[in-house]
A = this chain, B = another copy of it.
Amino acid sequence: MKNRTIIFEKRPVGKPTNEVFKFVEETVPQPENGEVLLKTVYVSVDPYLRGRMNNSKSYVDPFNLNEPITSGIVAEVIESKNSQFAKGDVVAGMLGWSEYQVSDGAGLYKVNSNVTPLSVYQGILGMPGLTAYLGFTEIRQPKAGETLVVSGAAGAVGLLVGQIGKLLGCHVVGIAGSDEKVELLKSEFGFDEAINYKTTKRMNKSIAEVCPNGVDIYFDNVGGEISDGVIMNINKFARIIICGAISLYNETRIPMGPRLQGSLLVNSALMKGFIVNDYSAQFPKTIVQLTKWFLEGKLKNKETVVEGFENIPNAFIGLFEGSNIGKMMVKI
């Protein structure tokens, strides 16, 4: 039986292209004692993977050339020589971009396959859900009535942050990259206001219009000029969380912008980088809360599912073109 794997062939400069990836075909590996054989079901593609393609220090190690790319994967156990897993179990974890692979089980966890669709473990009940909940609630301490602005609002994390903001009583404003996304944020996901940054001439002014009481919390997934406009509207004691900076990931020079120290100073404002893995001790109780909200219908799942192993690279590249709404993943 043939098994395809995607190898990291070439470090990208600027926006990634198909040259970054190389498909190889081998036979399906056989599990040894203590191992399981996994069949990949869903592959997550995430903006942060772009950072791992650079050969530079960051919060996760860079990918090694000539090795499989890894990301969050949901897989089915199709053969087990490990007593902790049985054939038919569904597991999630950081795994390689292969149709089949063996694992000793380290870092894998069994998911409840009664909670469906299984893709939810890539979204609300996976890394994006943990990021949205912990980044927003633990760090920003939102209070009812405060104004929350979310950039990348139609992305996997942004869509959840906005919904959680509404559950906690905030005035929620989303920023996204198309009229379709803007409409969806308001009609389906309860955002009070949404802005299409591609058709907005002055973000500063647009934010002021939809945030009449200023901005108390800014959950930033994008960085760059969008953020400049938001930060010009912050209130005293504003909290800015830097969760991502997708607008900057493909930059080949150090990006320049207005210095923010003055705004932070006069507003006693806080800006903090957020990496979800720093909060792993809180994952279990957070998953309980997110599962509850999901099963009660309070958090809506939204995903863009691309079909077919061969389309993983294009799904990843599409992240930087804004081609997803909600969590982007590939179904194998």
**A interface vs B, CB < 8 Å?**
51, 57-59, 220, 223-224, 227, 236, 242-245, 248, 254-275, 278
- Other than the given A58-B266, A245-B261, A268-B275, 20 more pairs (CB < 8 A) read A51-B266, A59-B266, A59-B267, A223-B261, A227-B261, A242-B261, A248-B259, A248-B261, A248-B262, A254-B258, A256-B258, A256-B259, A257-B258, A260-B260, A263-B273, A264-B272, A265-B274, A265-B275, A268-B273, A271-B272
Whether A259 pairs with B262 at a CB distance below 8 angstroms is: no
Chain B residues, CB < 8 A from A266: 51, 57-59, 273, 275
The 3 closest A-B pairs by CB, nearest first: A264-B273, A265-B273, A270-B272
CA of A295 to CA of B140, assembled, Å: 40
Report the minimum CB–CB distance from A263 to chain B (whole Å).
8
Q: List 25 A-B contacts (CB under 8 A).
A: A59-B266, A59-B267, A59-B268, A223-B262, A242-B261, A242-B265, A243-B265, A244-B265, A245-B261, A245-B262, A254-B258, A254-B259, A255-B259, A256-B257, A256-B259, A257-B257, A257-B259, A260-B260, A263-B273, A266-B273, A267-B273, A270-B271, A270-B273, A271-B271, A271-B272
B272 touches A269 (CB 8 A): yes
Tell which of B224, B248, B259 touches A224, judged by Cβ atoms closer than 8 Å. B259
Whole-angstrom distance between the Cβ of A31 and the nearest chain B Cβ: 36
Contacts of A236 in B (CB 8 A): 59
Establish whether residues B264 and A223, one from each chain, have CB atoms under 8 Å apart when the complex forms: no
Tell me, in angstroms, the Cα distance from A48 to B121 when the chains sit together.
Answer: 51
A273 → chain B, closest Cβ, in Å?
4
Give bound CA distance, A264 to B58, whole Å: 11
Chain B residues lying within 8 Å of A58, measured Cβ to Cβ, are 266
